[in-house]
């Protein structure tokens, strides 16, 4: 191939690896993301037309501003960003890997002379003796040193925190992992919702973006729903549903869910999200036969004919929560065994004795009324979510190790110098140099003490 094409691929590669591209893309992502916070996303067309006019709406549609976070151009920027991340890592990783594979065991004279953190001592003891002592010290202070002999000189190398070199790469990988998790969730998962009336069950849910029913593969029954309020207010404190999971008629799981405490079964999670009234209310009615004193307690819906002993029946024909300040009251009538309707009469919940006075075959008491509720559940299946959490964990872990730990290296060179031993010391850290310089000064003192063997003198 000609040289031109090669340099063209090279240039493309350099472009894709470049940090300038990273910065531009990050700023571009920040800037374009603003659009979707100013223009409402996924609203009905009429809303946009009302607010911005027809022409602007057409423009928004064309630019995909009404669903911009899944627009082709936004996904495109994210894709280019990922490519940038991958290329840059591929390009730089070998350089980092070298620190693991081929640590610089023997430092050249440049390291001992030219760098910031260096020191030089001399000792009366032999090379080997000094090496032993310094090794023990380095092992304690930095890490087990490695000894190399070269051209009559002894070299020591110790290091600490080499894994922090991987920090940026772990962070970068974590971003790709999060994206992968999000993509998996988008392809193989769904977001849906369902309303279940208390006492009933469902085996399908409705997709949140569209109204396609989705088969769950099992049945969910709601046994009970409750709302509790804060004392003396109508602020809801909690609402919860007793859910039961059934497969082939068999109970597989049961949980009382509430907001922030969902139920998960077979990868599908049910979140308490709303509630509301379902159908007409039930009245709890106690009927007493005046002759025998026998009582029955029944549940009645408005308009429904409810059987009583001896062929009688009754129906609740009307209800009010507050009848002229007397509290809840129902209007009802009795049907005799021969099918005749009696005259309507009223029963007040708070004054049961009134109906005893009415006479007749039965007297009634209103024990309570219940409005059946439906519980509104968000339903989600997201097989990618744990991958996202893994990515998040690595992201925090990786950026902390990148920012707050550094790879510290220390080199020592021991050289015979007449009867003495010349000791050269050097160190560096790949970040936080001022901090390392302080640590190095301390180390330097300890090495000096050790080299000159001052411990023993003091002890002896």
CA distances 457 to 125, 140, 233, 414, 453, Å, are 13, 21, 81, 22, 7
**In whole angstroms, how close is the CB of 205 to other proteins at the nearest point?**
12
Buried b (16+ CB within 10 A) or exposed e, 342-364: eeebbbbbeebeebeeeeeebbb
d(CA 216, CA 220): 9
Binding-site size for other proteins (CB under 8 A) equals 45
Q: Which one of 64, 71, 269, 288 is in contact with other proteins (CB under 8 A)?
A: 269
CB 380, CB 268: distance < 8 Å? yes
Q: How far apart are CA 109 and CA 153, in angstroms?
A: 12
Question: Least separation, in Å, of the C-beta of 422 and other proteins?
Answer: 35
Q: Which is nearer to other proteins, 82 or 331 (CB)?
A: 82
Contact partner at residue 92 from ligand HEM, other proteins, none, CB < 5 to 8 Å by partner kind:
ligand HEM
Indicate the residue among 85 and 156 with the shorter CB distance to ligand HEM.
85
239 binds, among ligand HEM, other proteins, none (CB under 5 to 8 A by kind): other proteins
**Using the rule CB under 6 A, is 168 a contact of ligand HEM?**
yes
- Pull the structure tokens for residue 387: 């991958």
- If one asks whether residue 399 binds ligand HEM (CB under 6 A), the answer comes out as yes
Provide the token pair at 196: 């279940």
Contacts (CB under 8 A) with other proteins, residues 341-400: 378-380, 382, 385, 388-389, 392, 395-396, 399-400
Which pair of structure tokens corresponds to residue 158?
């110790």
Cross-strand bridge partners of residue 378: 193, 271
Q: In what side-by-side order are the strands of the sheet with 153-160?
A: 117-123, 420-429, 408-417, 153-160, 146-150
Cα 16 from Cα 92, distance rounded (Å): 13
R_g of the chain, CA atoms, integer Å: 40
Asked if 423 and 447 touch (Cβ cutoff 8 Å), the reply is yes
Q: Which tokens belong to 303? A: 């308009």
Nearer to other proteins, 8 or 404 (CB): 404
Nearer to other proteins, 31 or 343 (CB): 31
Site map (CB under 8 A) of other proteins, residues 228-267, x = contact: --x--x-xxxxx------------------xxx-x-----
Query: Which residues, at least 6 apart from 305, have a Cβ–Cβ distance to it below 8 Å?
Result: 313, 314, 315, 335
Q: Does 171 bind ligand HEM (CB under 6 A)?
A: yes
Among 16, 36, 253, 354, binds other proteins (CB under 8 A): 36
19 binds ligand HEM (CB under 6 A): yes
From residue 119 to residue 158, the character string flagging contacts with other proteins as x (rule: CB under 8 A) and all else as - is ----------------------------------------
Q: How far apart are CA 246 and CA 253, in angstroms?
A: 7
CB of 40 to other proteins, least distance (A): 9
Footprint (CB under 8 A) of other proteins, residues 178-197 = 182, 191
Smallest separation, CB 133 to other proteins (Å): 34
Q: What length is written for the chain? A: 460
Residue 89 within binding range of other proteins, rule CB under 8 A: no
Residue 408 is a binding residue for ligand HEM (CB under 6 A): no
177: which residues sit within 8 A by CB, 6+ positions away? 387, 388, 390, 391, 394
Binding-site ranges for other proteins (CB under 8 A): 19-20, 22-23, 26-27, 29-30, 33-34, 36-38, 41, 69, 182, 191, 230, 233, 235-239, 258-260, 262, 269, 271, 273, 378-380, 382, 385, 388-389, 392, 395-396, 399-400, 403-404
Q: List residues near ligand HEM by CB under 6 A.
A: 19, 22, 81, 84-85, 88, 92, 96, 168, 171-172, 175, 399, 402
């Amino acid at each position: 191939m000609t040289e031109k094409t090669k340099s063209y691929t090279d240039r493309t590669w350099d472009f894709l690896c470049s940090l300038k591209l990273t910065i531009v893309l990050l700023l571009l992502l920040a800037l374009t993301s603003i659009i979707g916070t100013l223009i409402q996303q996924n609203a009905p067309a009429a809303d946009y037309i009302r607010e911005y006019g027809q022409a602007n709406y057409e423009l928004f549609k064309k630019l995909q501003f009404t669903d911009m976070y899944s627009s082709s151009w936004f996904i495109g920027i994210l894709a280019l960003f990922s490519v940038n991340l991958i290329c840059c890592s591929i390009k730089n990783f070998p350089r980092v890997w070298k620190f693991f594979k081929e640590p610089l065991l023997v430092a050249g004279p440049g390291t001992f002379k030219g760098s910031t953190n260096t020191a030089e001592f001399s000792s009366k003891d032999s090379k080997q003796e000094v090496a032993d002592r310094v090794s023990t010290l380095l092992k304690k202070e930095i890490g087990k040193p490695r000894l190399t002999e070269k051209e009559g000189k002894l070299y020591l190398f110790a290091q600490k925190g080499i894994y922090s070199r991987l920090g940026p790469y772990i962070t970068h990988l974590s971003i790709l992992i999060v994206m992968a998790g999000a993509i998996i969730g988008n392809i193989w998962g769904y977001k849906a919702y369902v309303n279940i009336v208390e006492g009933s069950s469902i085996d399908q849910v409705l997709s949140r973006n569209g109204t396609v029913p989705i088969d769950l593969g099992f049945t969910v029954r709601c046994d009970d729903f409750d709302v509790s309020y804060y004392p003396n207010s109508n602020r809801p404190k909690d609402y919860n549903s007793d859910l039961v999971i059934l497969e082939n008629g068999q109970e597989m799981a049961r949980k009382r869910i509430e907001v922030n405490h969902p139920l998960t079964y077979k990868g599908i999670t049910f979140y308490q999200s709303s509630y509301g009234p379902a159908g007409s209310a039930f009245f709890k009615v106690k009927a007493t036969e005046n002759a025998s004193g026998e009582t029955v307690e029944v549940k009645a819906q408005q308009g429904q004919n409810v059987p009583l002993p001896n062929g009688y029946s009754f129906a609740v024909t009307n209800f009010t929560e507050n009848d002229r300040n007397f509290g809840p009251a129902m209007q009802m009538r009795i049907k005799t065994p021969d099918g005749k309707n009696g005259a309507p009469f009223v029963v007040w919940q708070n004054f049961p004795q009134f109906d005893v006075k009415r006479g007749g075959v039965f007297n009634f008491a209103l024990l309570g009324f219940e409005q059946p509720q439906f519980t509104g559940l968000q339903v989600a299946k997201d097989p990618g979510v744990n991958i996202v959490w893994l990515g998040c964990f690595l992201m925090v872990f990786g950026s902390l190790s990148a920012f707050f730990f550094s790879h510290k290296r220390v080199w020592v060179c021991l050289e015979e110098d007449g009867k003495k031993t010349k000791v050269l010391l050097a160190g560096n850290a790949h970040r936080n140099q001022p901090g390392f310089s302080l640590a190095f000064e301390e180390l330097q003192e300890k090495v000096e003490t050790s080299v000159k063997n001052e411990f023993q003198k003091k002890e002896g």
